[in-house]
Amino acid sequence: MKCLENLFYFSNSNFSKMISVQHLVKIFPTKNNFFFKKKTDESEMPSRANSVDDISFECKPGKIFSLLGPNGAGKTTTLRMISTMLKPTSGIVTVAGFDTQKNPEEVRSKIGFLTGSTGLYARLTPNEMIKYFADLNGLDDVTFKRRKDELFTMLDVHSFANKRIGTLSTGMKQKVSIVRTMIHDPEVVVFDEPTSGLDVITAANIIELIRQCKAKNKTVIFSSHIMEEVNLLCDDLAIIHNGKLKFNGSMEDFRLQHGNHSLTEAFIETVQNDLKI
Amino acid sequence: MKKIFIVYKKELLDVLRDKRTLRTTILIPTLLMPLILFVIIKIQVLVGEHNDQKVMRLIWLNENKGNVLEKSLQSDTMIKVTFCNNIQQIKDSIRAEKADAGLFTANDFTSRMDSNMTSKVQVFYNSKDDVFKSRLLMNLEKIKMPLVQQRLMKLNLSEEKITPFKIEEHDIASTQEIFGKLFGGFLPYIFILYSFMGCMMLTVDLFTGEKERGTIETLLTSPVNRLQIMFGKIAVAVTGATLTAVLSISGILLFVKLFSGNDIPVELIKVIGQIFTPIFIVKVIVMLLPLTVFFSGILTPIATYAKNYREATSIIAPFNFLVILPAMMAMMPGIKLNLITSFIPITNVALCTKYMVAGDKVGIYWWITFASLLVYGSLAVVFSYRQFSNEQNILR
C-alpha cells in the first residue's frame, strides 16, 4: 500500500466547497425503443428508480464524502450529474467553481472518475491508453512523461506497460484504471461503487487510493452500499433513498444521532423511517 | 480540431487491432471479390465445356423414316437418337430428364420437301435448361442451308432473288461501352454494398462497442465534448468504409491482373485499363466520401442507442434493403442519370459510376451527386449528434 503514497501532488484548491449540489432533481423520461418514442409522463417520474428528487450537499477538499443508499437509490445518477455525464432536470451543481451545465469541459478537466466496472480499451496497451487520456486532458509531453513515469513506478505498471490490456489480470487492469484516473492530477475524484466486483486485494488498492487522495487534500466523493468501506473512510455522509436525501452531515453527527447502533443498523433505521412515512 | 484528431488516432489504432473489423473491411473485399469472380467465371467455363462435350439425348417421333434429317442427325456422334411412338412420350422423357430435346417429323415431311413446299419440324425442349435447344437448332440449320441452295439451283434462282434486303448490323458502341452496360451497374453495387458493410462494422464497434466494453463513462468524463468524440469516431468509420470500397475495386483489378490471358480476353483487359484511370478512381472516391458520411450518419444513432453488438446489428439489418434497393435501381434498364436520379442518394453514385465505366460523360450530374450527398451527409451527422447527445441513448 505504501506504493500509493506520494501518488499525487497536494491540491491547492481555494474552494472551501469543491463540489456544491443545490436542489438537484433528475427525472428520466419514459423508456422508449429506437423507432417509437413515448411521451414523458412526469407525474410518474419521482417514484422511478435512479431518479433524484431535490438533493443538496457539499463536498470539501481533504474530506471524503460518501453517498450511501440501497441499489437504485440515485447514487450513480447523482455522481453522473456531478461529472457532467447527465444533465440535471433542475438544480445547480458546481465543481471547483464551474457550473456543470455551463462549463462542462472545465468541470471534466478537474475530475477523475473511477468505477468498479470501469472498462478499458482491451486492444490498446497501458502506455497507449494513458497517452490517449493525457492528450484529451491537454497534458504537455514533459508533464505527461513525468506523471506517467511516477504513476507507473508507484503502481508497478512498467512491467506490463506494453502488453495489450485485454491480456492483463483484473488487478493489473485496476492499476491501469487508477493511472488513467489520476494522470491529469485531478482536484476532485469521483468513485462510483469503486470496489464493486473486485477481489479483496484489488479493492484494498482502491481504498488506499481514496485515503491518499484525502491525504493530498483532494476532494473525494464516493458512492457505496458497503458499510465497512463507509465506516473506514468517510468524513461526511449523505444517505439517499428513493432519490430523496435522508441524511446529510458529518459521519460523527450520524453516529451521534444513532447512539450505540452499528452503521448498518443506523442506515437501515434511516431508510426504514422513510418506508414508514 | 486537435481533440477530434486525438480521438481519431486512438480509434483508428483500436479498430486496426480488431480482427473482426479487419476481416470485414480489408480481407473480404480484397480477397473474397477476386475469389468470387474467379469461381463464377471458372464454373461458367466448365459448365460450357461440359455441355459442349456432352452427347445430346434426342427423342424423336419420326413418321417419315429415311428422311434427310434422319441420316444427318444419326451420323452425328454428339447426338444419340431414340425413336418413340407419340408426342406425349417426347414430353414425358424431357420432363423426366431422360432426353435433352425432342423432334417430331410428320409422314409428309419428305413429300412436301420434294414438292418444293415447306415441311415442318417440331422441336421440343425444356426452357429451364435450353442449352440443347440451341445445339439442336444449329444442327437443323446446318442441314437446312444446303437444301435451300439445292432448291434455288433447281429453280435457277440466285440467293439475291429471294432476298429483297439484307440486314447488316453496325454496333457503334465501343468495347468500353459494352463493358459498361454489362458491368457498369454491378461494379458500383458491389462497392456501395461493401462501403455500407464496412461502415456498419466500424460504427457499431466504435459506438456500441464503447458502451459494451464499459469505456463510455470514462470517455464522457474526460475534457472532450460529445461533438468532438462523435466527429473523431465518424471520421474513422468514413476512412474505413472508403478504404473497404476502394479495396473491393482493387480486388476486382487484382483478379483481372491475376487471371488475364487465361479466362479473360485481352481486349477486356485493355478496356479495364482504360476505365480505371487515376481520374476515374479519384472521382469515385470523392463521391464515396460524402456517401460514407451519410451511411455513418444513419448508423450512428442506432449504434449509440444499442446496448450491445447483437442489438445494433438486429436494428441495422432492415437498413441493408434501403441500401441495396437504390443501388439495384441503377442496374435496371431505362434508369438514366438525370436531374431527378442525381438527387437520389446511393442511386446517384451507382449511376454516375455506371456512366463513367461506360465512358459516358456525367458532367453536371457528378457535381449534383456530390453536392446532394454532402447535404444528406451533413443532415445525417446533425441527426447523429442529436442522438449521441441524448443521455438516454448514450447511457442506456
**Contact state of B305 with A34 under an 8 Å Cβ cutoff:** yes
- Which pLDDT does position A43 carry in this prediction? 44
Give the pLDDT band of residue A47 (cuts 50, 70, 90): very low
Angle, CA A83 vertex, CA A82 and CA A86 arms, to 5°:
80
Give the model confidence (pLDDT) of A71-97 as tens digits.
888 888 999 999 998 999 999 999 988
The pLDDT of residue B29 is above 50? yes
Give the model confidence (pLDDT) of B222-239 as tens digits.
999 999 999 999 999 999
Identify the closest residue of chain B to A100 by CA–CA distance: B221
Identify the closest residue of chain A to B302 by CA–CA distance: A34
Listed by start position, the domains of chain A span 2-29+45-276
**Contact state of A119 with B218 under an 8 Å Cβ cutoff:** yes
- Which pLDDT does position A100 carry in this prediction? 92
**Contact state of B221 with A128 under an 8 Å Cβ cutoff:** no
Distance from CA of A9 to the nearest CA of B (A): 20
CB A51, CB A243: distance < 8 Å? yes
Q: For the domain A2-29+45-276, what is the CATH code?
A: 3.40.50.300
A163 touches B: beta carbon within 8 Å: no
- Spell out which residues of chain B touch residue A180, defining contact as CB-CB under 8 Å: 218
Rg (CA), chain B: 31
- Which pLDDT does position A42 carry in this prediction? 45
DSSP at B241 = H
| Residue A32 Rama label (left phi>0; alpha psi -120 to 50; beta) | beta
- Which pLDDT does position A210 carry in this prediction? 86
The pLDDT of residue A239 is above 80? yes
CB B316, CB B302: distance < 8 Å? yes
A27 touches B: beta carbon within 8 Å: no
* Among A215, A213, A212, A233, CA closest to A223: A233
* Among A203, A219, A193, A253, CA closest to A67: A193
- Spell out which residues of chain A touch residue B6, defining contact as CB-CB under 8 Å: 132, 135-136
Domains and CATH numbers, chain B: 2-37+175-394 (no CATH), 57-162 (3.40.1710.10)
Question: What average pLDDT does the structure give for chain B?
Answer: 86
% of chain A beyond a pLDDT of 70: 85
SS3 assignment for B376-389: HHHHHHHHHHHHHH
A104 touches B: beta carbon within 8 Å: yes
- Which pLDDT does position A195 carry in this prediction? 80
- ipTM value for the complex: 0.82
Q: What is B288-354 written as a DSSP string?
A: HHHHHHHHHHHHHHHHHH-SSHHHHHHHHTTHHHHHHHHHHHTTSTT---STTGGGSTTHHHHHHHH
Sign of CA dihedral A246, A250, A252, A256: negative
State the best of A33, A93, A98, A121 to mutate against chain B, taking most chain B CBs within 10 Å: A121
Question: What is the C-alpha separation between A32 and B396, in angstroms, rounded?
Answer: 10
Rg (CA), chain A: 19
Give the model confidence (pLDDT) of A120-129 as tens digits.
999 999 999 9
